Structure 1
Amino acid sequence: MLNRFGIILFCLFLLGACGETKSSGKLQKAGLLVPETVNDQVWGTKGFKGMLKVQSKFNIDVFYKEGMNSETVVARAVEEFNQKGVNLIFGHGSEYAEYFNNISKNYPNIHFVSFNGDAKNSNTTSLNFKAHAMGFFGGMVAAHMSSQQKVGVIAAYEWQPEIEGFYQGAKAENKQINVSIEYVGNWDDGKKAVQLVDSMLEDGVDVVYPAGDGFNVPVIERLKERGLFAIGYVSDQSDLGESTVLTSTIQQVDTLYEKVADQYNNGKLKSGNLSFDFQDDVISLGKYSPLVDKKFIQSMNEQIITYQKTGKLPK
């Protein structure tokens, strides 16, 4: 699976794009680099779906490569993309910002896009999700639904803004709530994440926010086994169990791919670091569990609308 090179050659009429013509703008072909796989059903899959949207909208060839986890292999992939006529490349992770800063000067006709990093060159852009509010609203739901007044976060790294957001949101909903926070140290160590959540559950935590797309599924499965609750992360994870997943904090990466490709095609994509939040329709809360009372859901919806309009979170 790793280091596989792929071209998405689905017949476009299957994607509803039969009547479209080739893009008349700047966009010629697009490429995607992912550190692991496009089949993880979370972060990597979202990138792949984003490329499908780009392909469908602009009627172009799009390529992807998996296992792109070092600057050496990324540089080799970029050269392959260049030879195929790709002029917009998405690096699906924060690590690609540094790689692209080093590589992009050799490819002035390619625009390089990464996530949650620091883009420094004129043909590099970093897309940064402003995740504080996302975590805040997730924390409110967790605190509201905790019968033990104990909630927890299993995070990948301390720098994640959604972690502080979750803490503040939980406290805004219930001043007496206890919030436990543990760090896995990477995005993918499911075994360690499950060990950490087991310790939390022994301490009476009954709602957990597994804020890591590589380990959130096994954590949610453990919570399901115990009859406890989770806040989903990155994707709408209600399909893992509506009686377990109270709601999800969603980053609509596929929609953002389409928006960025459109900006590039029209010559409007800015270099540097761009930020996106609820107001940009790329961050949202997902489907609520039927266990969450409708009055609270209505209140949450109203508070999210207020945040979208004013930028102010509940106190």
Structure 2
Amino acid sequence: MNQQSTQLRFIGIVAVIVGIIFISIIGFKMKDIISEAVSTGTDGKTKVTIITSDVIVDQSWGSLAYKGKLKMEELFPVDVILYSEINTDKLIKDTIEEAVRNQSQVIIGHGREFSDAFTESAKKYSDIHFITLHGTSRYPNQSVYTFDQGEIEYFAALAAAKVTKTNKVGLIDSYEARIKNPEFETGLAYYKPEIKFYYRNVNSRDDGEKASKILQQLIDEGVDVVYSKGNSFNRDVIDLAKKSGIYVIGYLDDQSYMGKDHVITSVKNDVSQAYVVMMEDYFSKDGIPHGQVMLSAEHGVYSLAPFGPMLSDKDKQFIENEMNKFDKGEISFPSLK
């Protein structure tokens, strides 16, 4: 009887020990599950934060961040929070801290102005990946996605050269960038050296009134084609172009809907597509590369919109052929310097 009792006690002790081990294992597993749920969200989605200094209105730089958010949420298992009008150092730092508290795994700055703050934060939060559109990076958990649409502007210039009758072509820029981005001017000089080029800048992406005044001055000087590189102010430019009977090359998206008989083409700048590439990299086997990631036309970030009716089929085919030659390395454009 004593022997049987001893055996029962032994079995009971073993059962208790096994139970404790089993409960401990479950506890550790639950801890891992809870930890993962906090960082990825209860629905298993990765948390991402986008920060822009601009407002989110039609044709604005900030609207491209919003389009990026929509594409990311449509194509990937992510929850995205977008903060707009974060335009001071304090607001940037406070927003980063809020994103950290919200367990964001990726924080994206919609512009180079976030580079310094992200460099500071990347050092502090090594488990979060910080990305800026353009700009600089220093740490392994920092990346810069950038692109140079200049190559496509050679052929926007070719389209302008085919349309102009006065051989006077203008470019209205948002901010001074003639030396930094010479491709449109270079293309004009290459394809039609007799063209006189006029360069002006508005010093704003949105000031339609000032852009219209600049365009009127160019029209008074005989310009009959203008490449307008604005955001919101392009609507005013195209409206005046229609009234004045001149032609425009649009910017950012296909702007032919504003005046199909006056918009030659548009330099499409689908910045939102850069966000798709970011998430493709994030969910890839190797993850987001650190340092600079250079996007090309193959990523769908920039392209020329379909040509308008002011170009003949022969002209359209010639431009397409020139673009193909350039892609094959059969054409090179000399520097203006």
TM-score by length of 2: 0.79
| Identical positions, percent | 28
User: What residue is the counterpart of 1:56 in the other structure?
Assistant: 74
User: What residue is the counterpart of 1:268 in the other structure?
Assistant: 287
CA apart distance, 1:313: 4.1
Q: 1:160 & 1:80 partners in 2: Cα distance?
A: 39
Matching of residue 47 in structure 1 with residue 65 in structure 2 = yes
The runs of 4+ residues in structure 1 deviating greater than 6 Å are none
Q: 1:186 & 1:131 partners in 2: Cα distance?
A: 20
SS of alignment partner, residue 138 of structure 1: helix
SS of alignment partner, residue 61 of structure 1: strand
Q: 1:313 to 1:268 in 2, by over 3 A?
A: farther
Q: 1:293 to 1:98 in 2, by over 3 A?
A: farther
Conserved? CA contact 2:250–2:267, under 8 Å: yes
Conserved? CA contact 1:234–1:250, under 8 Å: yes
Q: 1:159 to 1:97 in 2, by over 3 A?
A: farther
Conserved? CA contact 1:128–1:275, under 8 Å: yes
Moved more, 75-84 or 172-181: 75-84
Q: 2:178 & 2:72 partners in 1: Cα distance?
A: 28
Conserved? CA contact 1:133–1:313, under 8 Å: no
Q: 2:117 & 2:207 partners in 1: Cα distance?
A: 24
Question: Alignment partner for residue 223 of structure 2, among 183, 205, 214?
Answer: 205
Q: Structure 2: which amino acid aligns with 1:272?
A: G
CA apart distance, 1:71: 2.0
Q: 1:223 to 1:129 in 2, by over 3 A?
A: same
Matches within 5 A, 1:1-315: 28-159=46-177, 163-266=181-284, 267-310=286-329, 312-313=331-332
CA apart distance, 1:140: 1.2
Q: Structure 2: which amino acid aligns with 1:103?
A: S
CA apart distance, 1:284: 0.7
SS of alignment partner, residue 166 of structure 1: helix
Q: Structure 1: which amino acid aligns with 2:227?
A: Y
Q: 1:107 & 1:217 partners in 2: Cα distance?
A: 43
Q: Structure 1: which amino acid aligns with 2:85?
A: G
Q: 1:42 & 1:312 partners in 2: Cα distance?
A: 34
Q: 1:125 & 1:39 partners in 2: Cα distance?
A: 27
Conserved? CA contact 2:178–2:199, under 8 Å: no
Q: 1:144 to 1:196 in 2, by over 3 A?
A: same
Q: 1:268 & 1:59 partners in 2: Cα distance?
A: 15
Query: Residue by residue, what CA displacement relative to the aligned partner does 1:34-61 show, whole Å, maximum 9, x if unpaired?
Result: 2222223343222212211111122321
Conserved? CA contact 1:130–1:161, under 8 Å: no
TM-score by length of 1: 0.84
Query: Residue by residue, what CA displacement relative to the aligned partner does 1:2-31 show, whole Å, maximum 9, x if unpaired?
Result: xxxxxxxxxxxxxxxxxxxx99xx981112
Q: 2:265 & 2:195 partners in 1: Cα distance?
A: 19
Higher helix residue share: 2
Gaps of 5+ in 1: 1-21
CA apart distance, 1:214: 4.1
CA apart distance, 1:281: 3.2
Q: 1:182 to 1:253 in 2, by over 3 A?
A: same
Conserved? CA contact 2:45–2:77, under 8 Å: no
Q: 1:281 to 1:197 in 2, by over 3 A?
A: same
Q: 1:98 to 1:235 in 2, by over 3 A?
A: farther
Conserved? CA contact 2:59–2:231, under 8 Å: no
Q: Structure 1: which amino acid aligns with 2:314?
A: K
Q: 1:256 to 1:216 in 2, by over 3 A?
A: same
CA apart distance, 1:203: 0.4
Q: 1:203 & 1:182 partners in 2: Cα distance?
A: 13
Q: 1:67 to 1:46 in 2, by over 3 A?
A: same
What count of residue pairs does the alignment treat as equivalent?
Answer: 292
